[in-house]
């Protein structure tokens, strides 16, 4: 089990690396996180919704994601509430106090899911959440030491040296654990180290002596390995923007932004700048504006108006900018959002930005599907894309309709079943596109066709480069395995290579 001294110290990325390392060493391995709080989610092949991080970890392990890997997902909403997703399906929306009362009912869900994975795989790499030393949460927690105690998992405790105070955070965390839990911690890991590790040797000796535990390794800080991130805090730590670019893309950083990794593939292309904007004054004059997914569409739409970004987006569209909305962003682009059953808020009808002739009606049933489809439009943004087939996934609680023809995509398969369903809308100008499909930009042909069309509208031509790089998960695995004492890790786990 990988636990940390705080959130965002690198637990998820270390679990991802260990999953690939164990896979490469010949083991069957699966990730597990009992309870995840995230707006970045993914859909399993059977239509269940789990945290995006566990889907990434499963991919690193070379297996399909399942709801057992993340049996409880909390998706924050407005007014300090969260949607509780249990085994892939929404159960209720609740505040913090009510959720704590619910935890006793959820513990059997956690243990059943973990037992299932343990029966199917040789190794299960478990990820904790936040810190195990949050004393006010210890009594009712179901994601950290209680999980470790349940299966007697050896624990690696991770500290982030880049944020400072790593000695205090590691030793302080250990000092706050009760003896039973402390006995489960078998080694420490220092993450995000900058500089020469040899100069840190005195620090390693100090902490090993004080903690009476070995330091399993010092993992260097890196920003050249592309692994999807789960927490939106990663947007604040993104790599520096290119100084030379041909297409400028502004992604609106909504307060409840979800599935922002949809746009990672755009940033990897040569000549493309992708930046996240949450102030109207920073919007500047982008070639493309993207409204991303949102867990709380109406509240984020209100924020757009209050911040001035709604007017800014409309004005830029009128002056030639392209606009794409995905999921919640697609809903915002329409004329109205109706909520007759008050699924999301008490607002029965909310005007949208009016850039698409669509109306969305919120429904109590959430649509979660992996999908396959094709492009059916052939103008504007999609002029170079007709007939391209793609894969992606849907996560939404609304039905969007229009009395005008403008269908962008046609879905041919949903959750493994054949279908013939329209999705998305492209306006008559060809400059505003909306869709419910996450993951569209992961299709290289579709992504590059759209980017080329935007560049062409400026009289420019993009020079795409295909770098034959090694698998990103293997790059991560090599970095981490060379930084950790893997012999110690295997000893702690009671395993050996080839066993």
Q: Which domains does the chain have, with CATH numbers?
A: 2-226+473-493 (3.40.50.300), 247-457 (3.40.50.880)
- pLDDT tens digits for range 203-221: 999 999 999 999 999 999 9
Of the residues 19, 327, 369, 396, only one is catalytic, namely: 327
Report the run of H or E that residue 176 belongs to, with start and end: helix 166-176
- pLDDT tens digits for range 50-93: 999 999 999 999 999 999 999 999 998 877 788 999 999 998 88
Q: What angle do CA 465, 466, 467 make, to 5 degrees?
A: 105
d(CA 71, CA 170): 28
CA 433 from chain centre, in angstroms, equals: 23
d(CA 101, CA 325): 37
d(CA 185, CA 156): 6
Task: Quote the mean pLDDT of the chain.
Answer: 92
Binning the chain into helix, strand and coil, the percentages to the nearest 5 are 35, 30, 35
User: 489 CB contacts (<8 Å, ≥6 apart)?
Assistant: 18, 156, 187, 216
Residue 162: name the closest of 236, 229, 94 by CA.
236
Burial annotation 124-136 (CB, 10 A radius, 16+ → b, else e): bbbbbbbbbbeee
Average pLDDT over residues 112-139: 93
Which residue has 């560049």 as its token pair?
455
Is residue 119's pLDDT more than 80?
Answer: yes
d(CA 190, CA 185): 14
Q: What is the pTM of this model?
A: 0.85
Of the residues 256, 369, 396, 438, only one is catalytic, namely: 438
- pLDDT tens digits for range 350-372: 999 999 999 999 998 889 999 99
Residue 199: which pLDDT band, with cuts at 50, 70 and 90?
A: confident
327 classed as catalytic: yes
- pLDDT tens digits for range 356-413: 999 999 998 889 999 999 999 999 999 999 889 999 999 998 899 998 999 999 999 9
Is residue 236's pLDDT more than 80?
Answer: no
- pLDDT tens digits for range 276-313: 999 998 999 999 999 999 989 999 999 999 999 999 99
- pLDDT tens digits for range 244-288: 899 999 999 999 999 988 999 999 899 999 999 999 989 999 999
Residue 91: name the closest of 58, 48, 127 by CA.
48
Structure tokens at 431: 């400059």
Structure tokens at 116: 């299932």
Count other C-beta atoms under 10 Å from residue 451's C-beta: 24
- pLDDT tens digits for range 144-182: 999 999 999 999 999 999 989 999 999 999 999 999 999
438 classed as catalytic: yes
- pLDDT tens digits for range 444-499: 999 999 999 999 999 999 998 876 556 899 999 999 999 999 999 999 999 877 55
d(CA 177, CA 181): 6
User: φ and ψ at 7, to 5 degrees?
Assistant: -70, 150
Residues across the chain: 499
- pLDDT tens digits for range 11-54: 999 999 999 999 999 999 999 999 999 888 999 999 999 999 99
Question: Which residues share a beta bridge with 15?
Answer: none
User: 268 CB contacts (<8 Å, ≥6 apart)?
Assistant: 226
Residue 70: name the closest of 120, 124, 25 by CA.
124
> Where does 65-165 have alpha helices with state H?
96-120, 145-151
Q: What angle do CA 260, 266, 271 make, to 5 degrees?
A: 145
**Would you state the pLDDT for residue 93?**
86
**Would you state the pLDDT for residue 393?**
95
**Would you state the pLDDT for residue 468?**
53
- pLDDT tens digits for range 418-447: 999 999 999 999 999 999 999 999 999 999
Residue 198: which pLDDT band, with cuts at 50, 70 and 90?
A: confident
Burial annotation 2-14 (CB, 10 A radius, 16+ → b, else e): bbbbbebbbbbbb
């Amino acid at each position: 089990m990988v636990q940390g001294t705080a959130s965002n110290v690198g637990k998820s990325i270390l679990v991802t690396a260990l999953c690939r390392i164990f896979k490469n060493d010949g083991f069957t391995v699966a990730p597990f996180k009992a309870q995840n709080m995230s707006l970045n989610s993914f859909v399993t092949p059977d239509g269940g919704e789990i945290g995006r991080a566990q889907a990434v970890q499963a991919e690193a392990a070379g297996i399909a994601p399942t709801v057992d890997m993340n049996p409880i997902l909390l998706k924050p909403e407005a007014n300090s509430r969260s949607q509780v997703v249990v085994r892939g399906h929404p159960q209720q929306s609740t505040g913090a106090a009510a959720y704590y009362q619910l935890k006793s009912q959820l513990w059997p869900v956690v243990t059943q899911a973990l037992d299932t994975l343990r029966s199917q795989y040789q190794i299960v790499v478990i990820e904790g959440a936040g810190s195990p030393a949050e004393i006010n949460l210890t009594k009712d927690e179901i994601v950290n030491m209680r999980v470790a105690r349940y299966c007697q998992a050896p624990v690696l405790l991770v500290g982030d040296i880049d944020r400072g105070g790593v000695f205090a955070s590691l030793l302080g965390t250990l000092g706050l654990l009760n003896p039973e839990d402390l006995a489960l911690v078998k080694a420490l890991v220092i993450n995000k180290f900058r500089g020469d590790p040899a100069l840190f040797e005195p620090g390693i000796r100090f902490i090993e002596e004080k903690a009476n535990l070995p330091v399993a390794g010092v993992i260097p800080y890196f920003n050249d390995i592309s692994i999807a991130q789960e927490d939106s805090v990663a947007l604040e730590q993104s790599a520096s923007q290119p100084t030379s670019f041909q297409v400028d893309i502004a992604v609106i950083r909504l307060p409840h932004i979800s599935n922002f990794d949809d746009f990672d593939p755009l940033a990897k292309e040569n000549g493309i700048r992708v930046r996240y904007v949450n102030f109207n004054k920073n919007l500047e004059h982008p070639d493309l504006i993207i409204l991303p997914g949102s867990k709380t569409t109406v509240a984020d739409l209100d924020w757009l108006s209050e911040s001035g970004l709604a007017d800014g987006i409309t004005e830029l569209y009128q002056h030639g900018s392209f606009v794409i909305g995905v999921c919640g962003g697609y809903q915002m682009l329409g004329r109205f959002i109706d909520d007759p059953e008050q699924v999301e808020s008490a607002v029965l009808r909310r005007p949208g930005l009016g850039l698409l002739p669509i109306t969305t009606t919120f429904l109590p049933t959430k649509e979660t599907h992996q999908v396959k489809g094709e492009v059916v439009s052939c103008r504007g943004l999609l002029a170079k894309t007709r007939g391209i087939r793609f894969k992606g996934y849907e996560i939404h609680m609304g039905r969007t309709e229009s009395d005008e023809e403008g269908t962008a995509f046609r879905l041919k398969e949903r959750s493994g079943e054949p279908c013939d369903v329209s999705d998305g809308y492209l306006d008559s100008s060809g400059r505003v596109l909306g869709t419910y499909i996450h993951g569209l930009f992961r299709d290289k042909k579709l992504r590059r066709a759209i980017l080329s069309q935007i560049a062409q509208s400026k009289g420019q031509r993009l020079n795409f480069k295909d770098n034959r790089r090694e698998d990103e998960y293997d790059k991560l695995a090599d970095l981490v395995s060379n930084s950790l004492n893997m012999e110690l890790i295997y000893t702690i786990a009671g395993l050996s290579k080839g066993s």
